[in-house]
Amino acid sequence: MSVQRSTLIFAWILLLPAVLYVTVIVAYPLVDTFILSFTDASLKKTTNWVGWVNYEKIFNATFAEVIMRTFVWTFFSVSIKMIIGVFGASMLNAAVPGRALFRVLTMPPWIVPMAIGIFMWGWMYNGQFGMISGLLQRFGFIDGPVAFLAQGSTAFWATIITDVWIGVPLVTLYMLAAMQSIPQDLYEAAWTDGAGRFYRFRRITLPLLIPSLITMSMLSLIATFNSFDIIWILTRGGPSGETTTMIIDTYHTAIGSKKYGEGAARAVLICIFLSIFCLAYFRVTSRLSSGDNR
Amino acid sequence: MTIHFKPGHLTTGLFALALLGSTALGAMTAQAADQEISWIYCGDKIDPIHEKYIKEWEGKNAGWKIVPEVVGWEQCQDKATTLAVAGTPVGMAYVGSRTLKEFAQNDLIIPVPMTEEEKKSYYPNIVDTVTFEDNQWGVPIAFSTKALYWNKDLFKAAGLDPEAPPKTWAEEIAIAKQIKEKTGTAGYGLPAKTFDNTMHQFMHWVYTNNGKVIDGDKIVIDSPEVLAALQAYKDITPYSVEGATAYEQNEIRAIFLDGKVGMIQAGSGAAARLKDTKINWGVAALPLGPSAKGEGTLLITDSLAIFKGTGVEEKAAEFAKYITSTDIQHEYELQGGAGLTPLRPGALVDEFVAKEPYWKPFIDGIAYGGPEPLFTDYKGFQNAVIEMVQSVVTGKAEPADALKKAAADLEQYK
């Protein structure tokens, strides 16, 4: 056996556990869900092949609204997380006394178990006992209690704020790490030339942060698009479906109404969108790394 | 083309869905062994009364073992369903009776017929909650009804007689209005969150006005009786807790326990909690609508369903009837504080009501009560009713329009 051949076999042996893992845990269920999406699977003991019917059903006016809402929800949530994250990282990167303490204080939303954090926000949004309504009443901004999860418009933003609260620490820490990797001598040179704080941020920090910003945005986009817990615990997609995103709608259909075939079609659609995001992410990161190599 | 059911195929598909939906379908390994009857038991722990009688039954039935698995309320129903669909059913499961129709239609459970004598032992209308196509598909094990709680101090502060709760919807709306206007506190607690009990609460109004949602296979929700209930919902909303769509039944109860609402519809569990507060409260039968024939309420039962294909169906049915037999059931229900309404009348119940008179309205309402409507797609039905209620209380739709829309939507779920 040639050395080259034995090296190849050895490489495949090393890869085998990962290949098996991906096949069993990821590939097979995905393929199976794809097949399921072309059937009328439900509680019945037999299923019929129904072709594209499940896909035709989901492209009605209501689901189009759900898709649009998912994109809007994701857009605002990711954008706000990125803006606050970059701002927070800049603050934490500044040479101020007690910086280490502030860094620690950014962590709780990330450390607290997600469900507990969401329930806490649920109580804060409560009109009768909630802190937000109470404070607004005390300072005279509102006359009586306001339940923020009662109306579609406020509930939609309430779920975004909660998602931002949970997601910001990760973005902040990632951006802080990126900022700390920027060579200090660039700032010193700019400072010597009389560049102000904002100018240094605009002309040094921001351009050098762009690769990290893109990477983080993409990762955050994927996680946010697929976010289930926050909306489910706070509103279950209500009131009147005004916080129902694709993942909530899929759960209602597949698990609630036990229409597994229809639910699978919705899940496939989510997979397609997420795959597009992933492709974009890999493309951008590969471009960035090839740029680094030049 | 018809595909014969392959447990593995569907199980894996469901697994992928579960990952996406963050639900728990993981534990698919439970299997009924020979001479064992597995039982999915909803809650945090097995009730000591049940534990005691499981042992007694096992003593009398040598070679048989009951294997209960405690599953939290949120996952309980889904777990029993998933296991059945995946081809690995449990022997018996504690399920909401509302799901029996879809289980039966899909050949997942066996009927558990009742003799005439057994049927007569229950309070009226209870057997209807487990009956579909003239057969019983579950054995009732838990039951709840609702009554009207009122805050006597708030009544007094509003210039109302604190000992005179409303008897009709008109009185209830007028009292709610007076409380709101005279005290600034909400007169009524109307839950309308995207939550199952929003539908339950509305059904209490339907059954206190002689209304119905479905009759056999015919959708009859678009009736003057149900329209009157929806109109009453619209009329009482301005005097209710602000932001009804943010609260479910238990959250409204918390507001009542805090003394911030005049009246609520709640189960007997609220009384146990109220005893620990300083609130001066009373409880009465639910107020009646203009078409009512008598005191009514929604009758919610949970049942023991016997799943098909385990090989122990007969013995499981025998055990289900044993563990819910009159004496054991009374012992279980009348422990107090559990919020369960007795399923059957009896001397023990009379004794219990004499000792705890607040129980009376919960039992009186059974006479004209009605079951949770049985639909093939129960969640679809539930969501359509929630959508209808929310559109009215938020002012997005007029009751007549919302009702027509719901009636049309419900056709696909029956």
- The CATH class given to the B7-143+300-368 domain equals alpha beta
Q: Using a CB–CB cutoff of 8 Å, tell me whether A236 touches chain B.
A: yes
List of chain A residues whose C-beta atoms are within 8 Å of the C-beta of residue B262: none
Q: What are the tokens at B238? A: 């301005």
**Length of chain B measured in residues:** 414
List of chain B residues whose C-beta atoms are within 8 Å of the C-beta of residue A24: none
Helices assigned H by DSSP within B37-137: 48-60, 73-85, 100-105, 116-121
Task: Report CB contact under 8 Å: B260, A128.
Answer: yes
Cα gap A236→A99, rounded to integer Å: 39
- State the Cα torsion B383-B387-B389-B394 to the nearest 10°: 150
- b (16+ CB within 10 A) / e for B185-205: bbbbbbbbbbbbbbbbbbbbb
Task: Report CB contact under 8 Å: A251, B21.
Answer: yes
Q: Which residue has the tokens 């800049």?
A: A90
Residue A244 to chain B, least CA–CA distance (Å): 11
- The CATH superfamily label for domain B147-296+375-413 reads Periplasmic binding protein-like II (3.40.190.10)
Residue numbers in chain B where pLDDT is lower than 50: 1-8, 15, 18-33
pLDDT at B6: 45
Q: Which of A48, A232, A256 sits opposite B2 (nearest CB)?
A: A48
pLDDT at B152: 97
Cα gap B409→B403, rounded to integer Å: 10
Residue B405 to chain A, least CA–CA distance (Å): 14
Residue A111: strand, helix, or coil: helix
Task: Report CB contact under 8 Å: B2, A146.
Answer: no
Contacts of residue B291, defined as CB under 8 A and 6 or more positions apart, other chains included, come to B209, B210, B211, B224, B225, B228
Q: Please give the C-alpha separations between residue A106 and each of A91, A110, A218, A227, B64, in angstroms, as whole numbers.
A: 11, 8, 22, 21, 57
Q: What are the tokens at A146? A: 């306001």
**Which helix (H) or strand (E) segment is A177 a member of?**
helix A152-180
Cα gap B246→B235, rounded to integer Å: 19
With contact defined as beta carbons under 8 Å apart, do A121 and B219 qualify? no
Residue-wise pLDDT tens digits, B53-94 = 999 999 999 999 999 999 988 788 889 988 998 889 999 999
Cα gap B66→B373, rounded to integer Å: 32
**Minimal Cα distance from A148: which residue of B?**
B246
Residue A86 to chain B, least CA–CA distance (Å): 30
Q: Using a CB–CB cutoff of 8 Å, tell me whether A154 touches chain B.
A: no
Q: Please give the C-alpha separations between residue B414 and each of A276, B102, B378, B405, B409, in angstroms, as whole numbers.
A: 39, 10, 8, 15, 10
DSSP B218-246: EE--SSHHHHHHHHHHHHHGGGB-S-GGG
Say yes or no: do domains B7-143+300-368 and B147-296+375-413 share a fold: yes
Cα gap A195→B345, rounded to integer Å: 87
Q: What are the tokens at B169? A: 């919807």
Q: What are the tokens at B295? A: 């005191």
**Minimal Cα distance from B390: which residue of A?**
A240
List of chain B residues whose C-beta atoms are within 8 Å of the C-beta of residue A42: 106
Q: Please give the C-alpha separations between residue B3 and each of A43, B15, B88, in angstroms, as whole numbers.
A: 14, 20, 19
Bridge-partner residues for B2, per DSSP?
A48
Per-residue pLDDT of chain A (294 residues; tens, 9 = 90+): 577 888 999 999 999 999 999 999 999 999 999 999 999 998 887 889 999 999 988 877 678 899 999 999 999 999 999 999 999 999 898 877 888 888 888 888 988 999 999 999 999 999 988 999 999 999 999 988 899 999 999 999 999 999 999 999 999 999 999 999 999 899 889 888 888 888 988 899 988 998 899 889 989 999 999 899 999 999 999 898 999 999 999 999 998 888 999 999 999 999 999 999 888 888 887 877 676 544
Q: Which of A25, A37, A47, A126 to mutate to test the interface with B (most CBs of B within 10 A)?
A: A47
Cα gap B176→B239, rounded to integer Å: 6
Q: Please give the C-alpha separations between residue B409 and each of A53, A255, B222, B405, B414, in angstroms, as whole numbers.
A: 19, 20, 11, 6, 10
Cα gap B192→B241, rounded to integer Å: 11
pLDDT at A291: 61
Supply φ then ψ for residue A141, to 5 degrees: -80, -30
Q: Using a CB–CB cutoff of 8 Å, tell me whether A44 touches chain B.
A: yes
Domains of chain A: 54-293 (1.10.3720.10)
Q: Which of B10, B247, B391 sits opposite A240 (nearest CB)?
A: B391
pLDDT at B26: 37
With contact defined as beta carbons under 8 Å apart, do B375 and B103 qualify? no
List of chain A residues whose C-beta atoms are within 8 Å of the C-beta of residue B390: 238-240
pLDDT at B216: 84
**Minimal Cα distance from B87: which residue of A?**
A45
With contact defined as beta carbons under 8 Å apart, do B55 and B49 qualify? no
Task: Report CB contact under 8 Å: A126, B246.
Answer: yes
Chain A 109-148, residues with CB within 8 Å of chain B CB atoms = 125-129, 144-148
pTM of the model: 0.84
Total H helices, total E strands in chain A: 15, 1
Q: Domain coordinates of chain B in residue numbers?
A: 7-143+300-368, 147-296+375-413
Task: Report CB contact under 8 Å: A149, B4.
Answer: no
